[in-house]
A = this chain, B = another copy of it.
């Protein structure tokens, strides 16, 4: 049970967590902090938060749980302000899509209190943003990855784990470097591929005809190109090394497809498509 929960950034993820914990009866009071007064007002009107604060020290005063739900690119700014005003007995966690960069910022910013910071990443979301898009069941049966460091306090870890479980999520643990390497392929790369395809179409001579004749496959493949550009710029920069490994591998693999089509190699294409199809069929069964 959380007595006073402060959510820094009431967007899709922060708003959905607030709704889920309120529905679960797991929290007494929810304070929202954000830079956009309009968004905070909307969060109040929607009943997502009980009270809004525009001063970070005021927002976290007396909070036993503080969740950082801002874009990865804004974490440093928040952590540096948070460090000196962090209440005793509070636990801090975040929802950033990249863990190594957040940990590297949090360690000096929080000093001795870094032990009470539990890095986390809920693997959930839609291509939409903002509190109006938040959903109380966004985390139901979704995975949340926590990436504790050697100095992470075990009680703080248990409290964050219990919070996510109360929100309906399944919690898993990974070292931060593993998280960043895996998510570079399972999430960050697909986003770049979708943005790249959509941007190629925008600049194509047949732009209008391509969109008019787009298939269900095209629409599915490009759905995540509607995601927030600032958030994804930040993720690309924060997870640069792992993303580059994934991007370079994909670029080389796609080069092999180009060569196979050039030489009309039906055998290679069929074998490769078959291997991919088997793996994708397996993924369907797991859903």
Residues of A within 8 A of B (CB): 123-127, 143, 145, 174, 178, 181-183, 185-187, 189-202, 204, 206, 209-230, 232-234, 236-237, 240, 243-244, 247-251, 253-255, 257-258, 261-262, 264, 266, 269-270, 272-284, 286-287
A4 and B155 CA atoms in complex are apart in Å by: 75
A197 and B208 CA atoms in complex are apart in Å by: 27
Most B CB atoms within 10 A — which of A183, A204, A233?
Answer: A233
Most B CB atoms within 10 A — which of A200, A277, A280?
Answer: A280
- Are the CB atoms of B233 and A210 closer together than 8 Å? no
A186 and B214 CA atoms in complex are apart in Å by: 5
Residue in chain B with minimal CB distance to A193: B193
Residue in chain B with minimal CB distance to A255: B251
CB-CB under 8 A from A254, the residues of chain B are 192-193, 196, 247, 250-251, 254
Integer count of this chain's copies in the complex: 2
A261 and B232 CA atoms in complex are apart in Å by: 12
- Are the CB atoms of B244 and A279 closer together than 8 Å? no
- Are the CB atoms of A201 and B218 closer together than 8 Å? no
- From B145, B182, B201, B284, A279 is in contact (CB under 8 Å) with B201
Q: How far is the CB of A239 from chain B (nearest CB, A)?
A: 9
- From B181, B240, B270, A233 is in contact (CB under 8 Å) with B270
- Are the CB atoms of A250 and B200 closer together than 8 Å? yes
CB-CB under 8 A from A201, the residues of chain B are 185-186, 279
Q: How far is the CB of A87 from chain B (nearest CB, A)?
A: 33
A275 and B201 CA atoms in complex are apart in Å by: 11
8 residue pairs of the A-B complex, CB under 8 angstroms, read A186-B213, A187-B217, A200-B249, A225-B276, A225-B277, A227-B277, A236-B269, A237-B261
- Are the CB atoms of A258 and B266 closer together than 8 Å? no
Q: How far is the CB of A193 from chain B (nearest CB, A)?
A: 6
